[in-house]
Amino acid sequence: MSEPVARASFSELFIWAASRRQIFNIALQALGLASSFVVLGALSVHQFGLYQLILAAVAIAGAFTSGLFDDVVTNEIGQSLAEGRPESAKRLFRQFFIVKIFLALAVAAILFFGADLVARYYDRDIAGYIRLASVLAFIGPLRAAESLFFRSVRSFVAFGVETLQEVIRMAALGAFWFWGSLDLTGVLAAGVIAALCALAYTSFFFIREYRRRFGAISAESGQPLVGIVRGYGRWVFLRYGATRALKGSDVWIVRVFLSTEAVAFYALAINLIAFVQSVIPTNILGILLPWEIQNPERRGRIYRRMVKYGVFFGAAVGAGASIAVPLLIGLLFPKYMPAMPVFLYMLITLPFFAVYKFQKSFLIALREQKVLALRRISEELLSIAVLALFLPLFGLYAAVIAYVVLYGWRVTFFTLYLNRHHPDLRAPLSEIFSFNEDDRLLLSRIIREFLRPGQWAKRILLKS
């Protein structure tokens, strides 16, 4: 993004970035929905369940690289730049990027060569699929490192990469269908092809932006990454290491207590919820907040607005999804209608999801890694316990119980901590459920931003 970004106010930049992301998201969700329908139509229920198990295996293998220290390093680089210390920011990023490359290679190798072990205990045919998917375990950390750089310097040049990736994936799925080979192998191959093309796209902008931001700056000496690890690394490892190793284990728990077909229904409900959650613009705050967090008055005002708008936006999105999604699934894929009651009940968590994501951004910016780790540990244990306890009793409705319990726990845990340790970060209920002149003006600005596609396109071409 160009220099005018540095002179924009927080609300102006948030609205501009959020509206841009949402426009890309509209295209992304439409394409994602279309490609999901193609996959659902091409695979049997059993194959779709197997597909989800393979993706879960990739997620488990990549748990120690995907997200490990990402938000911490992003916050530190952003605050270093905000304080006028670009040489420190450059040194930290370079160290982190090198670590990411080595970890990505190690994880991909473990997944590739460990495929036979998984096949031995589940299905001998799954080994080849896992080896093909292991490429994704290498691409993911590299893309994450480049994305971290863009977020840290408040650059939005690669905002559309997910949309581009879905376009390529859809084209690859169409090509495999045309050639008559759209089976599980074709679906996985389409994902790998799209991921490789997306990596090439982001790498082009990454190299260009890195040279522009850091090319003329000499990195400072020292080991800032080592300092971060020593400072609160144990909490980060607990949060993203031991606990994220359990990420993806939920589908295997469903498989143990129910069936592979139940995995397919459960995965569809979870994917649809993730699809709806992505409509809520929660990611932009984490990009901008490190530049504002040192001002208690400003961060308090930002916090109250984010909580307020998160509640209402989450409720509005949930209401719309409760009507549109079941109609669409019933029309196109009636065989997956058993997943709809689970999905509909899960929608009640959307306001909690928005508030939790905003609170999490504040805690990251405040370097509160301990409370983030404690929440994560307790949540993982709670999730496994709830699923294991209620799956035999209530079937897939246990997933609803787990979702409501977890999001309720997240918001309660964070709210109590913030109220006690950061009194400026409070959002009274009377303020949340009110609508004043500032809200009206902000709403009108958001609407104007969405209704000016010409101006939006101009900004993409001239200011990215």
Considering the entire predicted model, what is its pTM? 0.64
User: Given this model, what pLDDT does residue 246 score?
Assistant: 57
User: Given this model, what pLDDT does residue 277 score?
Assistant: 85
DSSP letter assigned to residue 239: I
Token pair belonging to 227: 């300092």
User: Given this model, what pLDDT does residue 394 score?
Assistant: 78
239: Cβ contacts below 8 Å, ≥ 6 apart: 369, 372, 373, 376, 377
Vertex 315, ends 312 and 316: CA angle to 5°? 85
- In this predicted model, what pLDDT tens digit does every residue of 404-456 receive, in sequence order? 888 888 888 899 888 888 888 887 777 777 777 676 776 776 666 555 655 54
User: Given this model, what pLDDT does residue 6 score?
Assistant: 46
Residue 44: what are its φ and ψ, rounded to 5°?
-75, 170
Of 39-43, 164-168, 205-209, the one with minimum mean pLDDT is: 39-43
DSSP letter assigned to residue 219: P
Of 64-78, 90-104, 243-257, 272-286, the one with minimum mean pLDDT is: 243-257
**pLDDT, greater one: 41 or 326:** 326
DSSP letter assigned to residue 294: T
Over 50: is that where the pLDDT of 329 sits? Answer: yes
Under the banding of pLDDT at 50, 70 and 90, the label for residue 116 is confident
Average pLDDT over residues 65-73: 72
Over 90: is that where the pLDDT of 193 sits? Answer: yes
DSSP letter assigned to residue 279: T
DSSP letter assigned to residue 220: P
CB 126 within 8 A of CB 184: no
- Rounded to an integer, what distance in angstroms lies between the CA atom of residue 225 and that of residue 93? 9
**pLDDT, greater one: 240 or 282:** 282
User: Given this model, what pLDDT does residue 203 score?
Assistant: 92
Q: For tokens 């040279």, what's the residue?
A: 211
- Rounded to an integer, what distance in angstroms lies between the CA atom of residue 397 and that of residue 340? 11
User: Given this model, what pLDDT does residue 200 score?
Assistant: 92
Under the banding of pLDDT at 50, 70 and 90, the label for residue 241 is low
- Rounded to an integer, what distance in angstroms lies between the CA atom of residue 225 and that of residue 237? 14
Under the banding of pLDDT at 50, 70 and 90, the label for residue 462 is very low
123: Cβ contacts below 8 Å, ≥ 6 apart: 50
Taking the mean position of all CA atoms in its chain, how far away is CA 233? Answer: 22
Q: For tokens 């460990």, what's the residue?
A: 114
What region does 219 belong to: left with phi over 0, alpha with psi -120 to 50, or beta?
A: beta
User: Given this model, what pLDDT does residue 378 score?
Assistant: 76
Q: For tokens 């949340």, what's the residue?
A: 432
Of 114-123, 222-231, 241-250, 357-366, the one with minimum mean pLDDT is: 241-250
**pLDDT, greater one: 7 or 344:** 344
What region does 395 belong to: left with phi over 0, alpha with psi -120 to 50, or beta?
A: left
